[in-house]
Structure 1
Amino acid sequence: MWWKNKRPFMVIIAAALLMQLIHFAAFTPGAYAGTPQKSTPLYCGPGCSHYDVVVIGSEIEGVELAKAAHDQGLSVLILDPRSKPGGELIQGQMLVLDEPHDKAKRSLVQGEIKHLYDGYKSGVIRRIKDFRQYYQRLIRGIPLKSGVAIDSIRTIPGGNEKSLEALSYRANDGSKYTVQAEYWVENTDYGALSSKLGEERIPGMESIYRGSKPDYMAATYMLNFNNVDWAHMHEAVLHAYPLSKVQKIFGQNTYVDRKFATGFSNQTYKFRPKDSQLLLRGINATNQKNGQVIVNSLLIFNVNPADPKSVQTAISKAREEAPRILKFLQQYVPGFENAELGEFPEYLYIRDFNRYETKYVLDYKDVKSNRMFWDNVTIGGYTIDLQATQVMPLGVSLGKPNRYGIPLRSFELKSYDNVLVAGKNVGASIKAYGSARIIPTTALAGQTIGIILGREWKNGHKMLDQLTQADFVRIHNYLAKDFNIVLNR
Structure 2
Amino acid sequence: MRKYQGLEIGLLFTCLLFIAACDQEKVQVEKEKHQATHVVVIGSEIEGVYLARAAIDEGVSVTILDPREQPGGQLIQGQMQFLDEPVDDQNHSLLQGRVKELFSRYKSGEIRKANEFEQYFNSLIKGIPFESGISITNVDRVKDTVTGTQKIKSITYRTKEGADKTISADYWVENTDFNALVGGLELERMPGIETVFGGAQVYMAASIMMKFRNVDWGKFQGEMSQLTKKDIENKYGATTTVTDKFTWGFGNVGAAFTPSSREVFLRGLNAINQRDGEVLINALLLFHVDPSDKDSVQAALERGKAETLRILPHLREQLNGWDKAEINGFPDYLYIRDYNRYQTEYVLQASDLMGGSMFWDNVSIGGYPIDLQGTASHTWGQHSGDPDKYGMPLRSFIPKGFANVILAGKNVGASSVAYGSARIQANTSLAAEVIGILLGHLKGERDLSKLTQKDMQDMHEYLKNTYGITLNGVTAKNKLSGLTEDQIHQLNIGKLLLP
* TM-score (normalizing by structure 2): 0.87
How far apart, CA to CA, are the structure 1 residues paired with 2:31 and 2:216?
A: 61
How far apart, CA to CA, are the structure 1 residues paired with 2:198 and 2:117?
A: 39
The match for 1:28 is none
> Of 423, 438, 448, which residue of structure 2 is paired with 1:437?
423
How far apart, CA to CA, are the structure 2 residues paired with 1:372 and 1:405?
A: 4
1:472 alignment partner, SS class = helix
Deviations along 1:258-317, one digit per CA (max 9) or x if unpaired, are 110112221221111223211111110000111010000111001000000000000011
Match status 1:215 vs 2:199: no
> Of 170, 178, 182, which residue of structure 2 is paired with 1:194?
182
> Of 200, 205, 225, which residue of structure 1 is paired with 2:212?
225
How far apart, CA to CA, are the structure 1 residues paired with 2:162 and 2:426?
A: 36
Match status 1:286 vs 2:272: yes
Match status 1:462 vs 2:449: no
Paired letter, 1:203: P
Q: Which deviates the most, 202-211 or 351-360?
A: 202-211
Deviations along 1:161-205, one digit per CA (max 9) or x if unpaired, are 100111111111111111111000000001111111111111111
Match status 1:70 vs 2:31: no
The structural deviation recorded for 1:160 is 2.8
1:398 alignment partner, SS class = strand
The structural deviation recorded for 1:236 is 1.5
The match for 2:150 is 162
Match status 1:182 vs 2:170: yes
Paired letter, 2:446: K
2:169 alignment partner, SS class = strand
Contact 1:457 / 1:463 at 8 angstroms: preserved in 2? Answer: no
Gaps of 5+ in 2: 1-26, 475-499
The match for 1:113 is 99
How far apart, CA to CA, are the structure 2 residues paired with 1:263 and 1:364?
A: 24
How far apart, CA to CA, are the structure 2 residues paired with 1:57 and 1:287?
A: 29
The structural deviation recorded for 1:246 is 1.2
Deviations along 1:426-482, one digit per CA (max 9) or x if unpaired, are 000011111110111000001000000111243xx1101111101111111111111
The match for 2:131 is 145
Detail structure 1 runs of 4+ shifted over 2 Å in the superposition: 44-47
1:397-476 equivalences in 2 (<5 Å) = 397-458=383-444, 461-476=445-460
The match for 1:123 is 109
How far apart, CA to CA, are the structure 1 residues paired with 2:105 and 2:455?
A: 34
Q: Which deviates the most, 449-458 or 393-402?
A: 449-458
CA RMSD of aligned residues (A): 1.3
Deviations along 1:204-231, one digit per CA (max 9) or x if unpaired, are 11000343x2111100100110000111
Contact 2:36 / 2:168 at 8 angstroms: preserved in 1? Answer: yes
Match status 1:51 vs 2:74: no
> Of 159, 165, 175, which residue of structure 2 is paired with 1:171?
159
Identity of aligned residues (%): 47
Paired letter, 1:73: G
How far apart, CA to CA, are the structure 1 residues paired with 2:324 and 2:197?
A: 42
How far apart, CA to CA, are the structure 1 residues paired with 2:54 and 2:101?
A: 14
The structural deviation recorded for 1:45 is 7.2
Gaps of 5+ in 1: 1-40
2:136 alignment partner, SS class = strand
> Of 258, 268, 293, which residue of structure 2 is paired with 1:307?
293
How far apart, CA to CA, are the structure 2 residues paired with 1:267 and 1:104?
A: 30
Deviations along 1:228-272, one digit per CA (max 9) or x if unpaired, are 01111111122121x222111110221001110112221221111
Change over 3 Å in CA distance of 1:338–1:45 after alignment to 2:
closer
How far apart, CA to CA, are the structure 2 residues paired with 1:323 and 1:289?
A: 22
Contact 1:55 / 1:187 at 8 angstroms: preserved in 2? Answer: yes
The match for 1:17 is none
How far apart, CA to CA, are the structure 2 residues paired with 1:123 and 1:168?
A: 43
How far apart, CA to CA, are the structure 2 residues paired with 1:79 and 1:359?
A: 25
Contact 1:53 / 1:76 at 8 angstroms: preserved in 2? Answer: yes
Deviations along 1:385-424, one digit per CA (max 9) or x if unpaired, are 0001111111000121011001000001111100000000
> Of 356, 369, 382, which residue of structure 2 is paired with 1:383?
369
How far apart, CA to CA, are the structure 1 residues paired with 2:201 and 2:82?
A: 28
The match for 2:24 is none
The match for 1:5 is none
Match status 1:479 vs 2:472: no
Paired letter, 1:77: T
Contact 2:344 / 2:413 at 8 angstroms: preserved in 1? Answer: yes
1:174 alignment partner, SS class = coil
The structural deviation recorded for 1:333 is 1.5
1:266-415 equivalences in 2 (<5 Å) = 266-415=252-401
The structural deviation recorded for 1:77 is 0.5
How far apart, CA to CA, are the structure 2 residues paired with 1:290 and 1:296?
A: 19
Paired letter, 1:209: F
> Of 216, 224, 232, which residue of structure 2 is paired with 1:237?
224
The match for 2:19 is none
Contact 2:301 / 2:333 at 8 angstroms: preserved in 1? Answer: yes
How far apart, CA to CA, are the structure 1 residues paired with 2:31 and 2:155?
A: 13
How far apart, CA to CA, are the structure 2 residues paired with 1:262 and 1:441?
A: 20
Highest CA radius of gyration, 1 or 2?
2
Deviations along 1:349-393, one digit per CA (max 9) or x if unpaired, are 001111111111111111110000000000111110000111111
The structural deviation recorded for 1:46 is 7.5
The structural deviation recorded for 1:78 is 0.5
How far apart, CA to CA, are the structure 2 residues paired with 1:218 and 1:121?
A: 27
Deviations along 1:304-342, one digit per CA (max 9) or x if unpaired, are 000000000000111122221111111112221110110
How far apart, CA to CA, are the structure 1 residues paired with 2:341 and 2:388?
A: 25
Total equivalences in the alignment: 444
Contact 2:205 / 2:338 at 8 angstroms: preserved in 1? Answer: yes
